[in-house]
Structure 1
């Protein structure tokens, strides 16, 4: 069977699946690297002068964030021989805006990255929905199986949620300090997203084609 660069469509038979915890770790790992590097930027720069030459803590964190993102995508490719749609889009934006941040020595580019990514995801999901394509199935198709109505409703909710995340990022980076923005990016955005996901469980149960939580008797 020929390998695909991008993950298969939802419900495609025979597609390789990552362990959910490993998938979560690969997606969260780069953010944790970013947070740690920003808080320990001076110590990292002292230990590795080449990184210190990039600039202050945020610039060191940006470089390590880019590296961690590329490593996470590489591991995902090695394990599944495909790349998840949303992380690869986010990864491309990280590399582009991270490069601009380091090259121009301007923090604005990396701070705008979440706005651009979330706005892009919202546009793709809501745009696909307008043409009758619930594209969210590409993201969660490995985790659970829903009927068409379920995918449509879930896609709409996530599209609107990404708009909220984009607006939140704009408010935080424009009105608060860089350290607060970095902390919110890791410890604010992730809990908000987890809470939102938990609130979708009733919808998932109503539209599931198979039990979400099977007993292990």
Structure 2
């Protein structure tokens, strides 16, 4: 299926909508419990059960509209389905809390393997969005690798030592803010190693 362009706000709504709804729903239901088939589920578990199919639907809509899904989106969806399913099946919120850790470890490891081979796998998925020369891509990939491993450690520390409410806030706002600030601090790198769209160095 050929890639198609959609309005940026539509793409953003489909990507962030499920996370925003999970956060709002959790705030409304976090102090409540629900009896389903004789088993008591917390508001967190209930919102997880709703989040998984919602993410599947929005991801499929995004694929139908754009004709393309990134490898990161596919891996994230698979892990959400697996860990969200385990969370609901075992009625244990720890599985869902571990999901970001595994996602960041996977991405960090993939980028790290590429670096060991002298390649920037990051360039394969971001080349159209961030025009950099070969040296710039290697630097950015090393920084992204460190970021992913750092976020994995941070997620583990938060969910293992803090309350569920603290983790939800961290997952919704903390991780997003960390990635945003990471890009903000790459300004000098983009200035020094940036290229025109039609003037990129090969690896």
> Compared with structure 1, are the counterparts of its residues 200 and 24 closer, same or farther at alpha carbon in structure 2 (3 Å cutoff)?
farther
Alignment match, 2:22: 34
Q: CA RMSD in A?
A: 2.7
* Alignment check: 8 A CA contact 2:26 2:47 kept: yes
- The Cα of 1:22 is off from its aligned counterpart by 4.2
Determine which of 71, 76, 80 is the counterpart of 1:94: 80
How many corresponding residue pairs?
Answer: 197
> Compared with structure 1, are the counterparts of its residues 201 and 184 closer, same or farther at alpha carbon in structure 2 (3 Å cutoff)?
same
Alignment of 1:169-208 (within 5 A): 169-208=155-194
> Compared with structure 1, are the counterparts of its residues 141 and 68 closer, same or farther at alpha carbon in structure 2 (3 Å cutoff)?
farther
> Compared with structure 1, are the counterparts of its residues 27 and 142 closer, same or farther at alpha carbon in structure 2 (3 Å cutoff)?
farther
* Alignment check: 8 A CA contact 1:33 1:68 kept: no
> Compared with structure 1, are the counterparts of its residues 144 and 21 closer, same or farther at alpha carbon in structure 2 (3 Å cutoff)?
farther
Alignment match, 1:8: none
Unpaired segments of 5 or more residues in structure 2?
198-203
1:94-151 Cα offsets, whole Å, 9 max, x none, are: 0000000111111110010011111111001111222233121243233232222121
- The Cα of 1:45 is off from its aligned counterpart by 8.2
3-state SS, counterpart of residue 41 of structure 2: coil
Unpaired segments of 5 or more residues in structure 1?
5-14, 212-217
Alignment match, 1:154: 140
Alignment match, 1:145: 131
Alignment match, 1:129: 115
Looking at structure 1, the residues matched to 30 and 76 of structure 2 have their Cα atoms a distance apart, in angstroms, of 27
- The Cα of 1:38 is off from its aligned counterpart by 1.2
Looking at structure 2, the residues matched to 187 and 140 of structure 1 have their Cα atoms a distance apart, in angstroms, of 23
Looking at structure 2, the residues matched to 162 and 122 of structure 1 have their Cα atoms a distance apart, in angstroms, of 5
Looking at structure 2, the residues matched to 26 and 156 of structure 1 have their Cα atoms a distance apart, in angstroms, of 30
